[in-house]
């Protein structure tokens, strides 16, 4: 016959054991806690034995308080040489004593081009410019009429200065005056050695070897440069003018 089941026996019924995996996790956590605690104790002990009562040693063992680095952006110049001092070359420095420099008063119409050139074997320089009406002529009868004898009014041959000469009004530019006319004789300096019946006032007549070439010149309004000798020897004897060089 079977006995009835006791309620007391049912109250002390054994529970099912923990799974093996859960037991391992519990022991692992406990071991980690113990290891951390032991490490803290050992570190404290070592610090106490090392530093003792010496504050200098204690300061070494303590972690250093280091400020975090701050980035500062410094603008760089576009030119790597910008801002550097400039040292002038020795041969480019010229000191002029203005107390010893004479003051020159230039006349009206004078030009500042003092480039030295040569005419008739002597140095010359420009002294003024004039606006003039420039025509052309030839040494034959079609230009000179009955005076077409090959001799100019200054008694020079038309071949003087290689046939490169001009006629002017003697009251404006006297015999022996030196001029350069744009487009005539390659811009070289030529002498005034002739006159003309119609060449009055601010007019010039440039000489060409033939009548046909002279006609091609026509009539032109030009700025003529007047030259003078630059060697301090004064005016030349216009009767002795020969080929320029």
Going by C-beta distance under 8 Å and a sequence separation of 6 or more, which residues neighbour residue 226? 126, 127, 128, 129, 130, 173, 177, 178, 179
Return the pLDDT at 245. Answer: 33
Return the pLDDT at 121. Answer: 84
Averaged pLDDT for residues 21-29: 64
Return the pLDDT at 9. Answer: 47
**How many residues belong to the chain?**
245
More confident residue, 35 or 89: 35
Percent of the chain past pLDDT 90, that is, above it, reads: 40
Return the pLDDT at 33. Answer: 73
Residue 224, token pair as written in the block: 């003529």
Return the pLDDT at 83. Answer: 60
Return the pLDDT at 114. Answer: 58
Could you tell me the sign of the dihedral formed by the alpha carbons of 241, 137, 194, 116, in that order? negative
Give Cα separations from 134 to 117, 176, 177, 201 (angstroms): 23, 18, 16, 11
81-90, 137-146, 173-182: segment of lowest average pLDDT: 81-90
Helices (H), the chain: 7-11, 20-51, 55-61, 141-144, 211-217
Beta bridge partners of 128: 226
Beta bridge partners of 47: none
- Pick the most confident of 58-72, 106-120, 156-170: 156-170
Return the pLDDT at 89. Answer: 56
Strand pairing category for 117-119 and 122-137: antiparallel
Are the beta carbons of 139 and 207 closer than 8 angstroms? yes
pTM comes to: 0.53
Return the pLDDT at 187. Answer: 93
Return the pLDDT at 8. Answer: 47
- Please name the helix (run of DSSP H) or strand (run of DSSP E) that holds residue 203, with its range, or none: strand 203-207
Domains and CATH numbers, the chain: 22-64 (no CATH), 117-232 (2.40.40.10)
Distance CA 124, CA 232 (A): 10
């Amino acid at each position: 016959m079977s006995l009835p089941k006791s309620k007391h026996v049912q109250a002390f019924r054994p529970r099912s054991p923990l799974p093996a995996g859960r037991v391992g996790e519990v022991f692992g956590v406990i071991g980690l806690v113990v290891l951390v605690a032991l490490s803290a104790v050992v570190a404290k002990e070592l610090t106490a034995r090392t530093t003792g009562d010496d504050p200098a040693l204690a300061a070494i063992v303590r972690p250093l308080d280091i400020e975090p680095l701050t980035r500062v952006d410094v603008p760089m110049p576009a030119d790597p040489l910008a801002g550097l001092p400039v040292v002038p070359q020795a041969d480019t420095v010229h000191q002029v004593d203005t107390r010893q420099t004479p003051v020159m008063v230039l006349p009206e119409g004078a030009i500042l081009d003092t480039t030295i050139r040569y005419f008739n074997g002597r140095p010359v320089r420009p002294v003024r410019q004039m606006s003039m009406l420039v025509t052309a002529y030839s040494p034959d009868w079609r230009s000179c009429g009955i005076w077409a004898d090959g001799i100019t009014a200054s008694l020079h041959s038309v071949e003087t200065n290689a046939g490169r000469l001009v006629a002017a009004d003697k009251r404006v530019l006297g015999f022996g005056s030196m001029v350069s006319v744009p487009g005539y004789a390659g811009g070289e300096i030529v002498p005034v050695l002739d006159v003309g019946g119609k060449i009055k006032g601010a007019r010039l007549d440039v000489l060409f070897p033939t009548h046909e070439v002279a006609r091609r010149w026509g009539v032109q309004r030009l700025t003529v440069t007047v030259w003078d000798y630059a060697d301090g020897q004064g005016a030349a004897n216009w009767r002795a003018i020969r080929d320029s060089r």
